Chains A and B, each alone.
Chain A
């Protein structure tokens, strides 16, 4: 067993796990954060996308032990209390989900995109979402949501300044 300490959504948490435990298993099974989904378990679908040290990664293709000492943000860490993150709000406003299974990964991936491209074009959004699959094929509204979410994130940023 290995002791793994990560800062999840701002909170330091430690668990004893086998080295073969995936990061997504640690989050879901040890820390009870079931917002991060396991879709394909083969790093294709992106339902498990989270942020590790600020960058989006697929939590099904990273070991928990590899994340020891890292800062992790999951979908549960985006909202500010009862106030949704602008990207989450945009997915709701634009009907960016149908069954909702892919949504946590879509939102986490989109937030990472906007971190280094504040105003992505439709093509840039579609290219970026290469690693996120929506089995309902609801891509059109997802792209619309990301565009709106990026605009809302730009606005919040200016307000904060």
Chain B
């Protein structure tokens, strides 16, 4: 690891101020950033730790939305009775990330700000039509994720919370890489009163929606409504874990399973 300075932010505002320093970087759980720094792929001059920023933690449920603070860990989301009651699919998704020790440190804000193309949370945010609350504004999930490791966040802008609207039914099913538990393909389906949203992670260069399946499922909420071919192999990733053709096939299979599992 290259050497760096370290500071603990007292709150989100303090963190944004500290981030003004050139080449400063923010660390949430550090489950991606620290391994990246070890490989010398990242070289921050200052590491701003958010762990002490209490204003970034917590889970709250209101009538229309479930709000999760950016520094809430995967384990906290997975075990929260509030999350389980409001959106069981989200709690189950959190329980499937990495391993128990990663879930004890990794955070929802860190995951979506990093926007790993195989991460799980971006699929939930996109399918549930979440709103990403930052230190500067509110960004709809549809405009937040910009492709591989890229988001709409500005340099000194921090995710403070994520607001999830309540779905009538939802489920997330993934085909995990057996070693890392990252999604080779993960599909989140969400049925609302007036629309259906389907988001796919792991398969392409970034999380994406599948309008053809959304329309078909809005007409008929059934696994049979998922037609293979709506997701093209040409748009898929291809690597040692799965070919593009296999990923395209898995998208339809995971989508069908998600619809069947949704409650």
A residues near B, CB below 8 A?
2, 18-20, 41-44, 46, 49, 55-58, 61-63, 65-66, 109, 112-113, 116, 128, 130-132
From known contacts A19-B47, A66-B49, A130-B181, infer whether A46 and B3 are also in contact, taking CB-CB under 8 Å: no
Contact B38 A46 (CB under 8 A): no
Interface contact A57-B4, CB-CB below 8 Å: no
Q: How far is the CA of A41 from the CA of B181 in the complex (A)?
A: 18
Pairwise interchain contact A109-B100, C-beta atoms closer than 8 A: yes
Q: Mark B92-134, 1 if CB is under 8 A from A, else 0.
A: 0000001111101100000000000000000000000000000
| B35, CB-defined interface residue at 8 Å | yes
Q: Would you call A43 and B3 a contact (CB within 8 A)?
A: no
In the docked arrangement, what's the CA distance between A131 and B181, Å?
Answer: 10
Contact status B101-A49, CB under 8 Å = yes
A-B pairs under 8 A by CB, number: 70
Could you tell me the distance in whole angstroms from the C-beta of B93 to the nearest C-beta in chain A?
15
Whether A61 touches B34, Cβ cut-off 8 Å, given contacts A49-B101, A131-B98, is: yes
> A130 touching B104 by the CB < 8 A rule?
no
* A131 x B34 contact (CB < 8 A): no
B1 touches A55 (CB 8 A): no
Contacts of B261 in A (CB 8 A): none
Smallest CB–CB gap between A33 and chain B, Å? 18
Among A42, A62, A65, which residue has its beta carbon within 8 angstroms of that of B6?
A65
Task: Return the chain A residue nearest B105 by Cβ.
Answer: A57
Task: Give A126 Cβ to nearest chain B Cβ, in Å.
Answer: 12
User: Nearest Cβ in chain B — how far from A51, in angstroms?
Assistant: 10
Residue in B2, B34, B79, B99 whose beta carbon sits within 8 Å of that of A46 in the complex:
B99
Chain A residues with CB under 8 Å of B6's CB are 2, 19, 63, 65
B105's partner among A44, A62, A130 (CB-CB below 8 A) is A62
Give the CA-CA distance A62 to B179 in the complex, in Å. 21
Q: How far is the CA of A113 from the CA of B101 in the complex (A)?
A: 11
Bound-state Cα–Cα, A66 to B4, Å: 14
Instruction: Report whether B101 and A20 are in contact in the complex, using a CB–CB cutoff of 8 Å.
Output: no
Cβ–Cβ < 8 Å partners of B58 in chain A? none
Which residues of chain A have C-beta atoms less than 8 A from B3's C-beta? 18-20
Instruction: Count chain A CB atoms within 10 A of each CB in B35, B37, B99, B179 and give the residue with the most.
Output: B99
